[in-house]
Structure 1
Amino acid sequence: LPMEPAGSRKPSDHLYWARTQSTTNPVEHKPLDKEAAAALQQSAVAKGAAWNAASTWEEKDISKWARELLSEDLLLSITTEFDLSSADASKLPEMTQGTHGLRCSLKVASVTSVTGDVTHVLSRGKQRVVFELGLKLTLEIEIREAGELKHIVTGTLNIPEITNEELDETKLPSHKLTCDDRPWSSFLGVAAGRMWPNLKLALSALVEQAKQKWL
């Protein structure tokens, strides 16, 4: 047979087209029912968490629990007693200066608010509790001379932000004090400063209790 010249072929001549009509029905995609969708999602979560099987990193928001513990227990347990030094006495109102042997007892009378976030972190088997909180407390100070009650001073301590880093500080973090009896405002600042070590203990107790609860 004579060969067909190569130049006379069309690019589509090598294609083969079926001469009969396909009888295969098109694939119909049906949406998953609720049970199948839930199973698929659970499987995806399990696969996504597989990398963390060795407790490489895990976080848990414990803010609600922590705020309740602080408001209802730890902060209300704060009390501080101290004898006035000469430097402390200089902050007393003029009407009380010159008195001697004064002893002060400070307590958190009520917790107005605790805001912010607390997170429990498990990293490579080690626990950390990270907090960033705002505290607003009502303080009450009793001032006695030779055991006799002389004055009661009340006021509000507002700490807008306190974090783990402040636990290493020796002074009360940035705050605002409002005294209900203005002449005692300076002395309220002295008393609040004396309270700081016990406030740090309360926050440290929060950290330790969180570690025990989510161990």
Structure 2
Amino acid sequence: MEDGGEKVSSQQPQGASYTYWVREATPDAVPLPVPKMLSQNDIVSQNSDPATLGSVWNRAGTWEEKSLNKWASDRIKELLITVGTLEFTGGKAEIKEVSNCIGDAFLVTVRNKKRVGYTYELTLKVKGEWIIQEEKKMVKGRIEIPEFSFGELDDLQMEVKLSDEKDLLHQDKKQICQDLKKFLQPVREKLLQFEQELKDR
């Protein structure tokens, strides 16, 4: 068929297909970058540049996230066990174990600025003794702290559950739970310490 003096073939060359959409490798094509192991000099020069945060490979200080879960969970447990014994009008109690410490903590470098954050939930096993009806009784229980995050410790809440309450009157259980809720302030102080240590990392 002729159109404007040019012949237009309705047939395509064999094997042409759609390969022209694919960039084919040629001898003069730019080679792919090869991974390079950092030398000791690279690491030293990175350490001598205080303006750069994050890893050696991230000199531009773009996005980099580092998990701090192991350190954070261990540190929270260490701090809370050191709360010590609280004395109440009718008894005393202490945190014996952090039985549940679930969450995430991280350090993010964004545009050469460091940011940290965390989200956790806790269960603390407590043990104490109270004078109930002129008799000393050993009481065990747990304090559950629902999910809390970085910068939210002013809103920290806890729920107290007693393990051995069959022999306790309702008013005694109520009093013991109120006493155990007094752990809120010292626990908050330890978590504030943890938060500060996290920011300093």
| TM-score normalized with structure 1 length | 0.57
- How far apart in 1 are the matches of 2:136 and 2:113? 51
Matches for 1:80-91 after TM superposition, within 5 Å: 80-84=85-89
Quick one: which of 65, 68, 76 aligns to 1:70?
76
Alignment-mate amino acid for residue 202 of structure 1: K
SS in structure 1 at match of 2:126: strand
Matches for 1:27-106 after TM superposition, within 5 Å: 27=26, 37-39=34-36, 49=58, 51-52=60-61, 59-71=65-77, 73-84=78-89, 102=90, 104-106=91-93
Q: CA, structure 1 residues 50+139, in 2 after alignment: closer, same or farther (shift >3 Å)?
A: same
Please tell me whether the aligned partners of residues 73 and 101 of structure 2 are also in contact (alpha carbons under 8 angstroms).
Answer: yes
Gaps of 5+ in 2: 9-24, 38-54
SS in structure 1 at match of 2:157: coil
SS in structure 1 at match of 2:129: strand
RMSD of aligned Cα (Å): 4.0
Matched, 1:150 2:155: no
Matches for 1:181-200 after TM superposition, within 5 Å: 181-182=165-166, 183=168, 184-200=172-188
Tell me the CA shift for residue 176 of structure 1. 5.4
- How far apart in 2 are the matches of 1:187 and 1:195? 14
Matches for 1:132-211 after TM superposition, within 5 Å: 132-143=119-130, 150-169=136-155, 173=157, 175=159, 177-182=161-166, 183=168, 184-211=172-199
Tell me the CA shift for residue 198 of structure 1. 0.7
Gaps of 5+ in 1: 1-6, 13-25, 41-45, 85-101
Which residue matches 2:97?
110
Tell me the CA shift for residue 127 of structure 1. 5.4
Please tell me whether the aligned partners of residues 85 and 95 of structure 2 are also in contact (alpha carbons under 8 angstroms).
Answer: no
- How far apart in 1 are the matches of 2:114 and 2:176? 37
Higher relative CO (Cα under 8 Å, sequence separation at least 6) belongs to 1
Instruction: Flag the structure with higher helix content.
Output: 1
Alignment-mate amino acid for residue 206 of structure 1: F
Alignment-mate amino acid for residue 178 of structure 1: L
Please tell me whether the aligned partners of residues 115 and 134 of structure 1 are also in contact (alpha carbons under 8 angstroms).
Answer: yes
